[in-house]
Structure 1
Amino acid sequence: MMINKIFWKCSLAITIALMLFVSCDKENDGGDAMQNLESTQLYASNNTDGNITVYDMVTGDVNTLTTISTAAEGIYYDAERDEIIQASRSSNRLNAYTDIASVLGSVSINATFSSSADVSSPRDIAVNDNFVVVSDNADVDGDETTADGRLFIYTRVNGSLTLRNTLVTDFALWGIEFVGNDLYAVVDKTNQLAVFANFTATNTTDATVSVSKKIAIEGIVRTHGLAYDKGTMVLTDVGDAASDTDGGFHIISDFESKFSGVSNGGILTVAGNQTRIAGNATSLGNPVAAEYDATSNTVFIAEAANGGGKVLAFSNADTGGNITPSVNNNLSKASSLYFYSTK
C-alpha cells in the first residue's frame, strides 16, 4: 500500500494541476484554488477483497475502508447523506455505510443498513433521487444460449433499502447510468447501448421489459462500463475478455444529440462522433468501469486484468489514440468507480 500510495501522489500531480487550473479559471475571484477542491475523491470497489479504496484528489492520500464484503461491484457516494452504497457480490445485497467524512485513514467500517439478499451477480449500481438500481447479469431462465438479465429497483427511505420491483431484460447487462430520468444500459457481449426512457416512473412493477431504443457503437468489440457528465458519455471496450492488452474506451461528446440522431437498431459511426483511446501504452485490457469528470476533462478507469488490476486516469483523453495514463495505480481486480467533487 505504501508504494502504491507514494506512486499515486506523484502521478496524480498532473491531474491535480489540471483541475486546479480549471478551478481558478472558473472562479476568477482571487480565492484559494485548493479550497475549491476540498471534497474531491475517487471511490473504488474490487473483486479481490471487497474493500473500498478512497483516492483523495487533493492530498494524494490513498485509504482502504475494510468492509464486510469479500467481493464487490458497483459503488456510489452521496455527499448530501455522507453515505456510500456498495453492491456486494459475496452477500448478494446492497450495503450502506454512513458518516464517511468522519472516517480518517484506513479503517474497518460496518454497514449502517443493508438490503435483503436479492441479487445474484451484481455488476453496477445507478442512483436517481431515492431510487437505487442494480444491474445483474446472472442467467435468468437457466438457458445460457438465450440472453437475459435483471434490473433490481430499490427505494432508499429513512435509512433503509427496500426492493420495489424487479425487471427482466432480453439482453445481458453490465454497466448502467442515469442521464436525467433515462437509464442507459450496456448490452453485454456486444457493442450495443440501450436506453429505458423515464425509467423508474415507467417501470413500477415486476415485469419483462423492452428497451426504448438500442444502437450499436462502431469500433467497440464488447462494452462493459459507461460514465456520463455534462453532455459527454464514456464507454469502455474490453475487447477479448481473455486478453489483458486489447482494451480501450470511447469518448462521445454531445452524446444525447448523437444518440438521438441514430435510428433504433442503427450504428453510431466513429468518424465525426467518437474518440477512441487504445493501444499498448494505455494499460487497458479489460476496462470494466469508468468515471468521467467534465470539469478537468479526466477519464477514470477500473481496469480488471492488466497487471492484475489497476485504477487509471487519463487527462485530456479527447486527444485520442495510444496515450499513456497520467495515473496508473495497482488495485487487484478493480471492478467499479465513483467520482465525487464539489466542483
Structure 2
Amino acid sequence: MTSIATHQRRAPGAAAKRTAAPAGRRRLGRKGRERLAAALFLLPDGLGLGIFVVLPMLLSFVLSFFQVSGFGSYEWIGVGNYERMFNDPYFWSSMWVTAKYVVILVPTLFVVSLGLGVLMKQMLPGMSVYRTALFLPHMLSLVVVGLLWKFMLDDQTGVVNKATGELGLGARSWLGDPGLALYAVIAVTVWYYMGYYMIIFLAGLNEIPRELYEAARIDGAGPWASFRQITWPLLKPTSFFVLIVSTVAAITGTFDLIFVLTDGGPANGTAVAMFYIYQQAFVFGEYGYAAALGSFLVLVMVALSWLIFKATKGGRFDDES
C-alpha cells in the first residue's frame, strides 16, 4: 500500500517532466522553427559562398594595397594601385568597351528571352522540343561555344560568310573588323544565354493565374492589352532577377568567350575590363594592380545592382511603378 501511495504521489511530478520538453519546443514557436530549418538548409551554401567567394574578395582587396613582384615579394604601397588605375587610359578604355557591351547585351538578351518565354508558353504541338533545343546551348562550356562560333565566323571557310554570300550580302570579317567584332561577340552571347533566361521567364509566366487572362478576354482585351496590363506587371520580380543576373554575368562572365573568339582584339575592340584585369595579373604579373582593378569592378557592380533595384523598386508589386 505504501509503494502504491508513493507512486501515486510521484506521478504528477513525472507527468510534469514529460510535458516540460514539449513546452520548451513550443516556446520556440512555429516561426522560430521555420527560421532554424531555413538557416540549416542555407548553411552549406553559405559556407561555400563565404569560403570561395567572400574570403577571396577580402584577400583581393587587401592585396590591392601591395605591389607584388613575380618572385612573391610584397611591398606596401597604400593606395598607389588605385592612383595608377585612375591614370591608366587603357583601363578606362576597357571600361568603355564593357559599358557598350553591357548596354547593348542586357536589353537585347532581356527582350529576346522574354519573347521566347511568351512564345514557348503557348500550348502548341512540339513546344517541349523547341524549349529543349533553345536551352541546349547553355549546357555547353563557353570555351566549346567560342571554338564552335570561331569556326563558323571564319573569314574564309565560315558557314556564316557562306550564307551571307548566298544571300548577296557579301563576306564580312566578323571577328577581325574592329567595328564588328564586339557585335559578333554580343550575338554569340545572346545565343548562348537566351535559352537559360527563357526558362526563368517561362517559370514566372506559369505563376500568373490563367483566370486573369480569361477575364481580360471576356472584357475584350487583346493580346497586347493582356500583356501590358497583366503579364508585364506580374512579371516584375522575375524581370528584376533577370536584369540583375544578366548584368553581373555581362560584366564578369564573358572572359572565356572573348578569350577564345578574339583574345581582346582587334585593336582592343573587345578588351572588356575582365580581360584587361586578366592581362595585368597573368600576362604582366601585376597581381596587386589587378586586385585593385577587380575591387573597383566589384564596386561598380554593386552600384549597378543598387540602381537596378531602385529603378525596378526591387521587383515589388506596387501602384507607383
Q: Which has the higher strand share?
A: 1
Asked if these proteins are the same fold (TM beyond 0.5), I'd say: no
TM-score (norm: length of structure 1): 0.19
Q: Which has the higher helix share?
A: 2
